[in-house]
Amino acid sequence: MVQRHPFDFRKCFESLNNVLLELKVRYGTPRLDIDGFGFEALSSSLRKVGLFFGIEDRAQAIIDEETARWKPELDWYKERLKGKKVCLWPGGSKLWHWAHAIHAEMGVEVVSVYTKFGHQGDMEKGIARCEEGALAIDDPNELESIEAMEMLKPDIIFTGKRPGEVAKKLRVPYLNAHAYHNGPYKGYEGWVRFARDIYNGIYSPIHQLSFVDISKDEIPTETQFLTQKMISDVSLNEEVTSSKALREYTGKYDSISPLRSKTYPDFPAQKKLSVV
């Protein structure tokens, strides 16, 4: 059946990479790389699919609508995440999916990338997408990652649950880069949800309390409870904090279920594809 498909989407990367090679060698099926993480990557991917099928105008309409809907919310978080140091320590593919996109679109600095089970190609691509000076570690152990955290002093880490719990012991918050905290992170809305999770992780008032050692530190009793915004906005200028153009995430807790009842326009085929 596969040789009958004129165009085939593959979501996962490394496990299906070999399938794509097989398709190309055995059936001559070409491959078009697309990427759903980040506004620019997603817009470019939609445009590419539109161009391939000769329906670029439809793709552009979606890009314009979604960007207008979600970009002001992404930029609200970008203003508050600028310059924050991130260790990007996921599995394999998110190394390169995210390294440049979070820097360019959320303003964070990726100070380190690592992967425990990524392929050589994942390291190659991840390093290519970092800025100069980022520390790349291949298959690190816990002592190496602890040393890296002590040296780099990241504001947050994107990693798995197990190394994430190690990070928390060093008072470094983490986001689950495998299952995601409040995903999905793909898509325009998803990318804003990712930015919101980073913001909530870095500026969590509860996390601030972890810096106080109740066994020896004096606990201030006159300090009032701070909200995330009170912590994040203290160093921002008024132009940003009072901006009417920017806003926090306005999506719902569940962004998936409404998609199941969404109705889509019907576009009858213009012509029968010759290979089907």
Partner 1 sequence: MEDRMKDRIEQLVDYIMKHCLWQFHSRTWDREKQNEGILTKTMQILCEEPVEKETPADRCYWVDAICLADAFKARYSWLTTLDKAELKLLMQGLKDRMDYLTITGSLNEELNDSKY
| Out of 2, 3, 16, 32, the residue judged to bind partner 1 by CB under 8 A | 32
Give the angle 138-139-145 at the CA atoms, nearest 5°.
90
Shortest distance in whole angstroms from residue 261 CB to partner 1: 33
Size of the site for partner 1 (CB under 8 A): 32
Q: Within 13 Å and on the Cβ side, how many CA atoms surround 35?
A: 15
- Strand, helix or coil for residue 199: helix
Contact status: 206 vs partner 1 (CB under 8 A): no
Contact status: 150 vs partner 1 (CB under 8 A): no
Identify whether the C-beta of residue 84 lies closer than 8 Å to the C-beta of residue 195. no
| Out of 40, 66, 233, 248, the residue judged to bind partner 1 by CB under 8 A | 40
Shortest distance in whole angstroms from residue 33 CB to partner 1: 4
Identify whether the C-beta of residue 118 lies closer than 8 Å to the C-beta of residue 91. yes
The residue behind tokens 């980073």 is 198
Contact status: 144 vs partner 1 (CB under 8 A): no
Of the pair 30, 258, the CB lying nearest partner 1 is at: 30
The residue behind tokens 């552009």 is 60
Residues 94-113, interacting with partner 1 (CB under 8 A)? 96, 100, 104
Identify whether the C-beta of residue 114 lies closer than 8 Å to the C-beta of residue 145. yes
Contact status: 193 vs partner 1 (CB under 8 A): no
Contact status: 35 vs partner 1 (CB under 8 A): yes
Among the listed ranges 31-39, 151-159, 192-200, 244-252, the one in contact with partner 1 (CB under 8 A) is 31-39
Contact status: 259 vs partner 1 (CB under 8 A): no
Tell me: cis bond preceding 184? Omega within 30 of 0 counts: yes
Strand order in the sheet with 135-138: 135-138, 109-115, 85-88, 156-159, 174-176
From residue 61, how far is each of 46, 81, 84, 127, 242 by CA, in Å? 10, 29, 34, 34, 30
Residues 51-70, interacting with partner 1 (CB under 8 A)? 51-52
Widest CA span in the chain: 77
Identify whether the C-beta of residue 95 lies closer than 8 Å to the C-beta of residue 128. no
Of the pair 6, 258, the CB lying nearest partner 1 is at: 6
- Strand, helix or coil for residue 212: coil
| Out of 4, 9, 11, 18, the residue judged to bind partner 1 by CB under 8 A | 18
Shortest distance in whole angstroms from residue 41 CB to partner 1: 8
| Out of 84, 129, 186, 196, the residue judged to bind partner 1 by CB under 8 A | 129
Amino acid at 25: V
Shortest distance in whole angstroms from residue 42 CB to partner 1: 12
Shortest distance in whole angstroms from residue 19 CB to partner 1: 11
Task: Give me the residues that bind partner 1 (CB under 8 A), please.
Answer: 6-7, 17-18, 21-22, 24-25, 28-33, 35, 40-41, 44, 47-48, 51-52, 96, 100, 104, 119-121, 124-125, 128-129
